Chains A and B, each alone.
Chain A
Amino acid sequence: MIYYFVAFALIVTMALALVRAIKGPGLYDRVLAVNMMGTKTVLLLAVVAYIVDRPDYLDLALAYALINFIGVFAVLEFFRNRDSKLAELAERDETGGPL
């Protein structure tokens, strides 16, 4: 039963992260939300593996963790590529303008 409870908590947290990802307001908030979502998915997979009694799903959890890690760096690289554009966007973060 505790598994279901944990899985439920994870899904609710995912929903919270989703709200943050949609609301923003800044670009970094969204990256943060997606990164959070990734960690929660990994945990969800681990818990689901126990719920359905398939330990081989843990491989998937590992793969997810890894992909998530790479995703963050891809985003950073993207930011670095657009340094000039970035300053302007960061200003709008401050003012909380819609993105």
Chain B
Amino acid sequence: MVMLIDILATGLMAIGAFFVFVGGLGALRMPDFYTRMHAASLTDSAGPIFILSGLMVQSESYLVAVKLFAVLVFLLITAPTASNALASASLLAGNKPGLAVKRSSAE
């Protein structure tokens, strides 16, 4: 059983680490702001879900698990909100998505 939990936790955290890293890569390599934001914000939710649940599985006491859960919930609420606010602010400021602009000019 303990073994199983360890494997589960390891798997979850490895997936989380992968998401986090991919998100970072995307934020660095993508061509314009909106695509970068896309990469960053998606993985900003996926990474915490996996990493924190990996930690939660291994937690020794309920208090720790609850705290981790609180952090997770908080991140899941705030991260998308912040992304949303940022994207709409950028759009309102007249900053057009780069890919869309390219396509429309190609047509």
- Check if B48 sits within 8 Å of A39, measured CB to CB: yes
B67 near A55: Cβ-Cβ < 8 Å: yes
Instruction: Please report the number of residue pairs spanning A and B whose Cβ atoms sit closer than 8 angstroms.
Output: 139
A50 with B95, Cβ < 8 A, contacts A9-B17, A62-B71 known? no
Q: Is the CB of B33 within 8 A of A32?
A: yes
- Indicate the size class of the contact surface on chain B: 35 or more
The size bracket of the interface on A is 35 or more
Question: Which residues of A, 1-27, contact B by the 8 Å Cβ criterion?
Answer: 2-3, 5-6, 9-10, 12-14, 16-17, 19-20, 26
**B71 contact from A29, A31, A61, A87, Cβ within 8 A:** A61
Q: Which 9 A-B pairs have the closest CB atoms?
A: A13-B24, A16-B24, A9-B17, A69-B78, A72-B82, A58-B67, A6-B17, A28-B90, A55-B64
Q: Footprint of A on B, CB under 8 Å? A: 9-10, 13-14, 16-18, 20-21, 23-25, 27-28, 33, 36-37, 40, 44, 47-48, 51-52, 54-55, 58-59, 61, 63-64, 67-68, 70-71, 74-75, 78-79, 81-83, 85-86, 89-90, 93-96
